[in-house]
Amino acid sequence: MTKIITSPSKFIQGPDELSRLSAYTERLGKKAFIIADEFVTGLVGKTVEESYAGKETGYQMALFGGECSKPEIERLCDACKSQKADVMVGIGGGKTLDTAKAVGYYNNIPVIVAPTIASTDAPTSALSVIYKENGEFEEYLMLPLNPTFVIMDTKVIASAPARLLVSGMGDALATYFEARATKRANKTTMAGGHVTEAAITLAKLCYDTQILEGLKAKLAAEKHLVTEAVEKIIEANTYLSGIGFESGGLAAAHAIHNGLTVLEETHSMYHGEKVAFGTLAQLILEDAPTAEIEEVVSFCLSVGLPVTLGDLGVKELNEEKLRKVAELSCAEGETIYNMPFEVTPDLVYAAIVTADSIGRYYKEKWA
Which residue numbers are catalytic? Answer: 171, 254, 257, 271
Angle, alpha carbons 130-19-145 (nearest 5°): 35
Q: What is the DSSP letter of 267?
A: T
The 10 Å Cβ neighbour count of residue 208 is 13
Reference 312, options 279, 348, 346; nearest CA is 279
The two beta strands, 87-92 and 58-63, are: unpaired
Reference 172, options 133, 122, 125, 217; nearest CA is 122
Angle, alpha carbons 40-44-45 (nearest 5°): 95
DSSP track, 231-258: HHHHHIIIIIHHHHHHHH---HHHHHHH
What is the H or E stretch that residue 176 is in? Answer: helix 162-185
